[in-house]
Amino acid sequence: MSRLVAVSNRVADPRNAAAGGLAVALGETLNATGGLWFGWSGRVVETAQGGTPGEGELHLQHAGDVTLATVDLSREDHDAYYLGYSNGVLWPVFHYRVDLADFDAGHLNVYRRVNQLFARKLAPLLRPDDMIWIHDYHLIPLAAELRAMGCGQRIGFFLHIPLPPPPILTTIPQHEWLMRALFAYDLIGFQSQADLEHFARYAQSEAGAEPMGDHRYRAFHRTVRAQAFPIGIDVDEFVSLGKGHEAQETYEMMMAQYARRRLLLGVDRMDYSKGLPERLKAFQALLAQYPENRSSATLIQIAAPSRESVDAYADLRRQLEGMSGAINGEYGELDWMPIRYIHRTTSRRRLPGLCRAARVALVTPLRDGMNLVAKEYIAAQDPDDPGVLVLSRFAGAAEQLKEALLVNPYDIQGTAQAIQQALHMPLAERQSRHQKLLENIRAQDVHWWSREYLRSLAESDQG
């Protein structure tokens, strides 16, 4: 088996399974192959350290058999690459929010320069038969930069966020450059069939690509394989986290406090893609239209701080604070507040307990690559008395989780009705929906995801 080289914006210690995410997904293969994980160190150095601006220092660390290689970034590079282009242009447009994109700020050059820097630092660490797996929108041009330096290894890319259809994608002035860069990979993975279809449509209509069968497309003098690989969670790990002391304690505390009440739960990063204002409006509509929920239903909304130096995120924070205050002011009683809004990260160890205590989960993004909270909620339920998942049809997860109550989060009244249905769903229906959902997230868990992806990468023709 080839050595796995994983590349992502942030790097984690794969021995720390409780970190969740990519550490769990890639840890197994990285360990088995004595792999290398490369990315930004998370450190911003105020002045470039002895070199040309942006020339970051490389740090090598060992985590068991895995090598972690990370690079520092200068303030200027970090701000333009990470905040400016990745999160100021690619994130909003890929989430269909063209209105929030800042195309004029000129961050593209630095986005490219940082990818070149990563390529320069990574290339000397590579071996000829390595298999390289690059993750997410921060690093789209990395393979092209590595190829320009003569790297002929198999290189795959996985996009964790959605890919919008051509009329939206082409609003990015450099869309052709970005898509050409994608053709430097051997395999491109998307979260959903919808994203894959958008890629195929773009490739055909904008790049004149011919579909060649077996998931392959040829354009820009290269052939690339493109497929959907919906990312999953480590179900067993989340279930065992749920048996831990902190999860149990959280569950018991919630059950004691909300014994007479119905608990609804939202857990997200504070991000405009997650549909948080619309969710609060739908909850408000529930209280207005179905008064039996007053003094009874409580929404705990946890919104972890994220990218706070980007304006749109600071605006969202103010909006949510205002809305939750207004709804609590209108409907609150001396002994009941409808919304508990928490602007902090919850410990991952407590999360399963919180999920298990909630009768209903509201996972209602306006657009989401996948959304793992939906899957974690299912994994945390008691199969004998499971809660109900209300899920946006615009989350990648909706392609798999058909037995959830699927909603259009822009339709406030429709979402309120679905929440009401969830709160009153008979036990037998809850059980049968949950059983199918659990089978689904078990069949396509995170280990399935990395296995399938790496198998396809190993099989893909090069170039």
Site residues, ligand ADQ (CB under 6 A):
20, 160-161, 231, 267-269, 302, 304, 345-346, 351, 368-373, 376
Buried b (16+ CB within 10 A) or exposed e, 48-73: beeeeebbbbeeeeebeebbbbbbbb
Q: Among the options 78, 160, 198, 434, which is catalytic?
A: 160
Q: Indicate the residue among 102 and 237 with the shorter CB distance to ligand ADQ.
A: 237
For the CB of residue 318, give the shortest distance to ligand ADQ in the complex, in Å: 18
How far apart (Å, rounded) are the C-alpha atoms in residues 45 and 56? 8
Q: What does each C-alpha distance from 274 to 112, 201, 366, 373, 409 come to in angstroms?
A: 28, 26, 6, 11, 10
For the CB of residue 373, give the shortest distance to ligand ADQ in the complex, in Å: 5
Q: Indicate the residue among 186 and 268 with the shorter CB distance to ligand ADQ.
A: 268
For the CB of residue 91, give the shortest distance to ligand ADQ in the complex, in Å: 9
175 an active-site residue?
Answer: no
**Cα torsion at 163, 84, 268, 20 (round to 10°)?**
80
- Quickly tell me which residue has 């966020």 as its tokens: 161
Q: Indicate the residue among 293 and 324 with the shorter CB distance to ligand ADQ.
A: 324
Q: Hey, what amino acid is at 84?
A: G
How far apart (Å, rounded) are the C-alpha atoms in residues 315 and 333? 29
Q: What is the CA radius of gyration of the chain?
A: 23
Q: Indicate the residue among 77 and 268 with the shorter CB distance to ligand ADQ.
A: 268
How far apart (Å, rounded) are the C-alpha atoms in residues 151 and 136? 20
Four-residue CA torsion sign, 427, 429, 433, 436 = positive
For the CB of residue 196, give the shortest distance to ligand ADQ in the complex, in Å: 15
For the CB of residue 108, give the shortest distance to ligand ADQ in the complex, in Å: 22
Q: Among the options 72, 136, 195, 368, which is catalytic?
A: 368
160 an active-site residue?
Answer: yes
DSSP assignment of 428-457 equals HHHHHHHHHHHHHHHHT-HHHHHHHHHHHH
Q: Which of 23, 31, 20, 16 is nearest to 67 (CA)?
A: 31
| Pairing mode of beta strands 58-63, 66-74 | antiparallel
For the CB of residue 209, give the shortest distance to ligand ADQ in the complex, in Å: 26
Q: Indicate the residue among 342 and 405 with the shorter CB distance to ligand ADQ.
A: 342
Which stretches of 351-445 are DSSP H helices?
Answer: 351-357, 372-380, 412-423, 427-443
User: Annotated active-site positions, please?
Assistant: 160, 368
